[in-house]
Structure 1
């Protein structure tokens, strides 16, 4: 496993991290999910990412059980706040941040999280209120650092201009060969502000594993065929022309790079030095092991350029 600095923090995070969005909020049987967490730790993956809204607490509860008894200093735990936990409990107000951090810590069975992230930007709460509340959470020792996910660039810059507040150290955007858009401004500006990326969906909801074949039924054990997880896979990513292009990239990865498509796609994300970690979702321990191997890869940029050209017509 390789490790990179997380923004202007003292955290060294594994370049491959384990997420819990769909898989551990009910999409995967509990024993399997716990086995994946333990496998990740065994492989040197030290960053575990979750959010209060994943299964409205279900993912945090599972992780609390999976990590019970594990040396707390041996892993880095990240969760998020913003999403609706009830009809009234949502957003980034001072009251909600204080309420939700305590609820998350209780479910996770820990005294603190290493990274507390704003899941989205809250247009209904003044930015200064949010930042002051997050700063208080840090001062109380309930979070070591703060970050955000999918914030508009102008709001990121406004937050950086505020005085006497805790600084953001991480950004969590969607980023993959099929979704390269953070490259258009966000990553460069974050680098200037001492912020690095923890990217989600680097395998494009499993499409960049090559498991979905054009014209073939969806695999029964796949995310796209699952009743609870399938709705999150964009339908256009399962259309035959795009899947045919993905198969071309799969052949390129296997025949010319000697790696799996998933490993190739993760290496493409990690080629960017501002990406500290790529979050994987896994339903089986062997998937964790395959993806973790991408941390060691150094592939030719020429191969990456060819893959980009193949997929370029399908980026929207």
Structure 2
């Protein structure tokens, strides 16, 4: 599997990243099977967070790493400072607390990729960057990134870091998918738009996309008449996305692949480095993702899928 380099990480990062928001102690056997299968196809990066499954996701990953004795093979991407019932928590105390707990759960002294799970624009970027750099200097984290931050705030934070000799954000983790979100899937979430794409193309800061396959929109299960999934209707149902689905179906037929594989290939064939977080939970889903990651799309095909062009130039 192809891998990319992210500044600050000691290890390269696989283009497919294994999602773990279903990892619990009561399905540990499934976790082991899925992680072993992911590693077998060349994946090496696992996505988790302080809040996933009430902390069980990180605990189960830590158990797996200890039992398999394969920590050196794995890139851990975890996140902290997610809001709680009292509100936003993007400040030094929350970062320090969540990171400490995550390290203990994961059974490691170093996390390759550490992301802030949300933003709080009331907190000056200098406080956030300085707090994160303390942990970089202490060797607890490698690369730092922003999950669901706007490109403007990332730019502001990186400008402060650069002018003060500190490490800035070297990756971002918003939603990027062929289906474009009409509104955030969850409060405070950020999806890649045209301005965000231009920013990443100019800076070449990698995007690690969550919901990279638009939560099943391209599986063939959904049509304008099927409205039983309220969240999908709310976020993705509009004429433009149905046209994107139609074009993905057409291109899939031409290439002899599936529609959802084309949707995944769209994410991985941008003009800047990208990785896709995948939720594959069985061998068929993992095989589909593997094949989708191998599809090469031209710039013209990507633009046509995204409705930026009316035809594909041959």
Q: Shorter chain as normaliser: what TM range?
A: 0.7 to 0.9
Instruction: Please say if residues 149 and 172 of structure 1, whose CA atoms lie closer than 8 Å, have aligned partners that are also in contact.
Output: yes
Partner of 2:73: 74
Partner of 2:108: 110
Partner of 2:6: 6
Among candidates 214, 221, 225, match of residue 211 of structure 1: 221
Q: Distance in 1 between matches of 2:194 and 2:236?
A: 25
Instruction: Please say if residues 200 and 278 of structure 1, whose CA atoms lie closer than 8 Å, have aligned partners that are also in contact.
Output: yes
Q: Distance in 1 between matches of 2:271 and 2:297?
A: 14
Alpha-carbon distance change, 183 to 89 in structure 1, aligned in 2, over 3 angstroms: closer
Among candidates 172, 181, 195, match of residue 185 of structure 1: 195
Alpha-carbon distance change, 295 to 80 in structure 1, aligned in 2, over 3 angstroms: same
Q: Distance in 2 between matches of 1:217 and 1:89?
A: 32
1:282 positional shift: 1.8
Instruction: Please say if residues 14 and 275 of structure 2, whose CA atoms lie closer than 8 Å, have aligned partners that are also in contact.
Output: yes
Q: Distance in 2 between matches of 1:121 and 1:216?
A: 34
Runs of 4+ in 1 over 6 A off after TM superposition: 240-244
Instruction: Please say if residues 210 and 247 of structure 1, whose CA atoms lie closer than 8 Å, have aligned partners that are also in contact.
Output: no
Matched, 1:166 2:164: no
Unmatched 5+ residue regions in structure 2?
A: 182-190
Q: Distance in 2 between matches of 1:3 and 1:110?
A: 23
Alignment of 1:108-257 (within 5 A): 108-162=106-160, 163-179=164-180, 182-193=192-203, 195-212=205-222, 215=225, 233-236=231-234, 245=243, 248-249=246-247, 251-257=249-255
Q: Distance in 2 between matches of 1:299 and 1:195?
A: 20
Unmatched 5+ residue regions in structure 1?
A: 219-223, 225-230
Partner of 1:221: none
Q: Secondary structure of the residue that 2:52 maps to in structure 1?
A: coil
What count of residue pairs does the alignment treat as equivalent?
297
Q: Distance in 2 between matches of 1:78 and 1:120?
A: 15
TM-score, length of structure 2 as denominator length: 0.82
Instruction: Please say if residues 116 and 143 of structure 1, whose CA atoms lie closer than 8 Å, have aligned partners that are also in contact.
Output: yes
Instruction: Please say if residues 18 and 38 of structure 2, whose CA atoms lie closer than 8 Å, have aligned partners that are also in contact.
Output: yes
1:238 positional shift: 7.3
Q: Distance in 1 between matches of 2:97 and 2:238?
A: 46
Alignment of 1:39-58 (within 5 A): 39-58=37-56
More displaced stretch, 3-12 vs 136-145: 3-12
TM-score, length of structure 1 as denominator length: 0.81
Instruction: Please say if residues 244 and 307 of structure 2, whose CA atoms lie closer than 8 Å, have aligned partners that are also in contact.
Output: no
Q: Distance in 1 between matches of 2:193 and 2:227?
A: 34
Q: Distance in 2 between matches of 1:294 and 1:32?
A: 23
1:171 positional shift: 0.6
Among candidates 94, 97, 112, match of residue 99 of structure 1: 97
Matched, 1:275 2:285: no
Instruction: Please say if residues 48 and 76 of structure 1, whose CA atoms lie closer than 8 Å, have aligned partners that are also in contact.
Output: yes
Q: Secondary structure of the residue that 1:67 maps to in structure 2?
A: helix
